[in-house]
C-alpha cells in the first residue's frame, strides 16, 4: 500500500460526506473539503437545480425524478425538516447529478446560490373538503419567504411555482420580485402541467389512444373553473359529443379533487404532480440548453387577456419564456368557459397581489 493511500481514502470519504451531510454554515470555513467545490468524479455537465420543499409529498418523488434527468448536474434539496434522509436516499441513485441537502432557514440562501432553475413544491397539501383557497394563508407566507431568498441569491434563475393556489402564489412571487427590483416576467412560471397531463390522459381514454400521442392545450389557471381545456384544439384532430365535452371538462377541472377523495385523507395528487412538474422542468432545461420549439402551457405574466397573469401555450428558451401564443379559435362552449375562468382568476390574482402589498 502506498503511504498516501490512507490520506486519499480520507479525502474521498470527506468528499462523499460533504454531499450527503453539508457542514453547518458556521463551520464551512473549517471543513476539510469545501462543499461548494465538491464534485463527484465523472459528474455530468448540465444545469444546477434547486427543489424547495424536497422532503414533502410532492418534493420527494420530484427530487428522485430530477436526479434521473441527464440535463441536471447538481441537485440542491432544501426543506425545513427531513432533508438529510431524503438527500442520502436519493444520492445513492447511479445517475450523473450530484445531490446536496440543505436543512432549515439558515441554509436556504446557500441552497439557492448559483442555481439555474428553482422548483417550488413547498407548502401544505390539500385535504378532503379543502379548496385551494383554504391553502392560501399557510402557503402564501411560505412562497413569499422563498421568493425573497430567490430574489437575493439567484435573481436570474427560472422559477417554477407549484405551491397552491398557483393562481395566487405566482402573483405573490411576482410582487416580491418587483419589490426587490429583480422581476423578470420571462423567468417566473406557474406549473399547470398537471392539468395538461390529466387532459391528455382522459382524452386518450375516450378516444382509445396512447396518451403520449395526444396533446390538449389547457389555458386559464390552475383551480376549478379556471382550468379550461381547449378540446376543439386537441391533436390529433378529433371531435367530441356534447356529453363527452361536459364529461372531459368536468373531470379535468376536478382531477385534483378526484385524487384527494380517493386517498381519503391520506394525501393529495403528489405522484402525478411530481411527474408533471418534472416534465415541465425538463422543458425549461431544454429551453435553457437552446433546443428549438419547446412549447408547453404555463401560468405566466401575459397579455393574452386583460388579466395580468394567464395560462396558455408558451415557447421556452434560453431566457425562459420567449414567446406567448394567443388562444387561437375558440368554440362557443370554450368562450363561455373563458369568461367564467377570467372572473375567478381576477379575484385569485388580486388576492395574491394584496397579500404582499398590504
State the cell numbers at 71: 440535463
Phi-psi region of 68 (alpha: psi -120 to 50; beta: other; left: phi over 0): alpha
**Annotation marks residue 222 as catalytic:** yes
Binding site, annotated residues for NAD(+): 53-59, 79, 139, 162-164, 273
Rounded to whole angstroms, how far apart are CA atoms 162 and 192?
Answer: 8
Residue 141 grid cell = 407566507
Rounded to 10 degrees, the C-alpha dihedral 168/104/266/278 comes to: 60
| CA 92 – CA 193 distance, rounded (Å) | 29
Residues in binding site: 53-59, 79, 126, 132, 139, 162-164, 198, 273
Active site residues: 222
Amino acid at each position: 500500500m502506498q503511504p498516501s493511500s490512507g490520506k486519499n481514502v480520507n479525502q474521498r470519504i470527506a468528499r462523499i460526506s460533504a454531499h450527503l451531510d453539508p457542514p453547518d454554515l458556521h463551520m464551512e470555513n473549517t471543513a476539510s473539503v469545501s462543499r461548494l467545490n465538491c464534485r463527484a468524479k465523472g459528474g455530468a455537465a448540465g444545469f444546477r437545480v434547486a427543489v424547495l420543499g424536497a422532503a414533502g409529498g410532492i418534493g420527494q418523488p420530484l427530487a428522485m425524478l430530477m436526479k434521473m434527468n441527464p440535463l441536471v448536474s447538481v441537485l440542491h434539496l432544501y426543506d425545513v425538516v427531513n432533508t438529510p434522509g431524503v438527500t442520502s436516499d436519493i444520492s445513492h441513485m447511479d445517475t450523473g447529478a450530484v445531490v446536496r441537502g440543505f436543512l432549515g432557514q439558515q441554509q436556504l440562501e446557500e441552497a439557492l446560490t448559483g442555481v439555474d432553475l428553482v422548483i417550488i413544491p413547498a407548502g401544505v397539501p390539500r385535504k378532503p373538503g379543502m379548496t385551494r383557497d383554504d391553502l392560501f394563508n399557510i402557503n402564501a407566507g411560505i412562497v413569499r419567504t422563498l421568493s425573497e431568498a430567490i430574489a437575493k441569491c439567484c435573481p436570474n434563475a427560472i422559477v417554477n411555482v407549484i405551491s397552491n393556489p398557483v393562481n395566487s402564489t405566482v402573483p405573490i412571487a411576482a410582487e416580491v420580485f418587483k419589490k426587490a427590483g429583480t422581476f423578470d416576467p420571462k423567468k417566473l412560471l406557474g406549473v399547470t402541467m398537471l392539468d395538461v397531463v390529466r387532459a391528455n390522459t382522459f382524452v386518450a381514454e375516450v378516444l382509445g389512444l396512447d396518451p403520449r400521442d395526444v396533446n390538449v392545450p389547457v389555458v386559464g389557471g390552475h383551480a376549478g373553473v379556471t382550468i379550461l381545456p381547449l378540446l376543439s384544439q386537441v391533436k390529433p384532430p378529433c371531435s367530441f359529443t356534447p356529453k363527452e365535452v361536459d364529461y372531459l371538462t368536468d373531470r379535468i377541472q376536478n382531477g385534483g379533487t378526484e385524487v384527494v377523495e380517493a386517498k381519503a385523507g391520506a394525501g393529495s395528487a403528489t405522484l402525478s404532480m411530481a411527474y408533471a412538474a418534472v416534465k415541465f422542468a425538463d422543458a425549461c432545461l431544454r429551453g435553457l440548453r437552446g433546443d428549438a420549439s419547446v412549447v408547453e402551457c404555463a401560468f405566466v405574466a401575459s397579455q393574452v387577456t386583460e388579466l395580468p397573469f394567464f395560462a396558455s401555450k408558451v415557447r421556452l428558451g434560453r431566457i425562459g419564456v420567449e414567446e406567448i401564443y394567443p388562444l387561437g379559435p375558440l368554440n362557443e362552449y370554450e368562450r363561455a368557459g373563458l369568461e367564467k375562468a377570467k372572473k375567478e382568476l381576477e379575484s385569485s390574482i388580486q388576492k395574491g397581489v394584496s397579500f404582499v402589498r398590504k
